Structure 1
Amino acid sequence: MTERLVSIVAPLKDEAGNIGPLVEEIVAAMAGRAFEIVLVDDGSTDATPAEIAEARRRRPMVRHLRREVSCGQSAAVRAGVRAARGEIVATLDGDGQNDPIFLPRLIDALVDGLPQAGLAAGQRTRRTDGGFKALQSRIANGVRSAVLKDSTRDTGCGLKAFPRELYLALPYFDGLHRFLPALVAREGRTVRHVDVTDRPRGAGRSKYGMWDRLWIGLADLAGVWWLIRRARKAPAALEVTPDAR
């Protein structure tokens, strides 16, 4: 158990039908802990805003951020982290495929490793995606791991926990959420892994396709490789204070 306030951030885009059950599962999983739920509506055009309003009516720890225009998952997560009141942030996808039951395990793995730990990352042991999509993910994860050597087999899992301050200090770009292990390691912090299981989507449909991710993903991979190559290790700068007299 931890007394730290934890902010649970979930990006949402047209997730009507998933929001109520997701919030209730988060509340059950986090029972006995200090937490808030930050739901980030990334320009939904369905009943997502109304369902978030209903969730807020039932659960006072729910907060609602909304963009009128969709800016993507990374931007939604960053908006939620910036608004978070907790010093520890945990994330999960809003489609119901990430089981909230794993949130306490991620949070505890991170907190137990502080101050050196910078990320607890969920790694799926069983996927519910179709065979072709699973193959895409295996190839993408294999290429990324070979290039960045981030010792993480699955960076696409939305279940993650990290210190808010560290996340906001990382270089931001669209797609950041897929490269967190490498960027956290670049800061000299360790990454802890927690095995999780995937579930079928509750409602709606996936927002991702193969070709809209492939070329952008390759460009991002090259950019993160460059950032790691250009990193310079330096000791912390300590404030100098006048000697006490």
Structure 2
Amino acid sequence: MPDSLQLSVVVPVHNEEDNVAPLVAEILAALRGRIDFEIVYVDDTSRDATLARLRELQATTPELRVVRHLTNAGQSTAVRNGVKAARAPWIATLDGDGQNDPADIPALLAKRDASAPEVKLFAGWRVNRQDSGSKRWASKFANAIRSRLLRDATPDTGCGIKLFEREAFLDLPYFDHMHRYLPALMQRAGWQTVSVPVNHRHRTAGVSKYTNLGRALVGIKDLLGVAWLIQRSRRTAVEELPGQGGPR
């Protein structure tokens, strides 16, 4: 990894052609001159001009890298592949629809710098949701059930903007939709997590990739699976004993 890079911004996208350029511009405005960073977009087999727009932006944006899925794999896989491709020790994630505000990333970084080293995840908390009423209700209901079952002390796990340590993330168990359970998974691994209030915006272009019913049906199975993982988790401190024979 380049020694100078401090942050990789990972953005998964699928059919977001009209959101790519504005979001890249906002990331640059938020981070240029503040920190050494890169932007890693992961295109999950978009059928529109998303990939073409990204390729055009690469010509004028040296920070921008593009990873392309050869088959459709979903958001969690896109996030994981973006993190694997990233070259910085810390990762910030954003949804590709523009509803997350890149201007919140410096606040997450400041919160990290003021926190104990045991805190490996800073999760965005949408205190002023700009979604439809039905979507807000469904999210509130799902968050309540998740919080009661997993006891992860996190008011909003569905927010796309997060800041976490790359190494800690890659050590987590991987499964589809895991991005919705990062606080519980980080806590299961023995790390601390913090929720940070962030801005939330209306989608201005494109359409949502999820329905309330579809998200709920998948979420039930995922929630039970994560609860099982937590119950079966075992952790212990380890130490390496010094050798007695000297160097060989």
Paired residue type of 2:129: R
Measure how far apart 1:107 and its partner are.
Answer: 2.4
Give the whole-Å Cα distance in 1 for the aligned partners of 2:241 and 2:135: 50
CA positional deviation for 1:243: 7.2
Superposition pairs for residues 13-162 of structure 1, below 5 Å?
Answer: 13-32=14-33, 33-162=35-164
What displacement does 1:114 show?
4.7
| Cα distance, 1:244–1:111 mapped onto 2, change above 3 Å | farther
Deviations 1:2-51 (A, max 9, x none): x7510000000000111111001001111221000000000100010111
CA contact (8 A) 1:102 1:196 kept: yes
- 1:204 aligned onto 2:233: no
SS at match of 1:54: helix
In 2, distance between residues paired with 1:209 and 1:44? 19
Q: Percent identity?
A: 47
Question: Which 4+ stretches in 1 moved above 6 angstroms?
Answer: none
How far is 1:242 from its partner?
5.5
Shift of 1:60: 0.6
Aligned length: 243
- Structure 1 contact 39–65 (Cα < 8 Å) conserved: yes
TM-score normalised to the size of structure 2? 0.93
Q: Tell me how far apart the structure 2 counterparts of residues 111 and 73 of structure 1 sit (CA, whole Å).
A: 28
Query: Distance in 2 between the 1:115 and 1:241 partners?
Result: 30
- Report the secondary structure of 2:196's partner residue: strand
Residue 113 of structure 1: SS of its match in structure 2?
coil
SS at match of 2:152: coil
C-alpha change, 1:242 and 1:85, in structure 2 (3 Å) is: farther
**SS of 1:154's equivalent?**
coil
Q: Which residue of 1 aligns with 2:195?
A: 193
CA contact (8 A) 1:4 1:88 kept: no
Normalization by structure 1: what TM-score?
A: 0.95
SS in 1 for 2:145: helix
Structure 2 unaligned residues grouped into runs of 5+: none
Q: Is the partner of 1:177 in helix, strand or coil?
A: helix
Q: Distance in 2 between matches of 1:239 and 1:157?
A: 43
Unaligned runs of 5+ in 1: none
Cα–Cα, structure 1 residues 9 and 71, in superposed 2: closer, same or farther, change >3 Å? Answer: same
**Alpha-carbon deviation of 1:109?**
2.0
Q: Does residue 6 of structure 2 align to residue 5 of structure 1? A: yes
> What corresponds to 2:223 in structure 1?
221
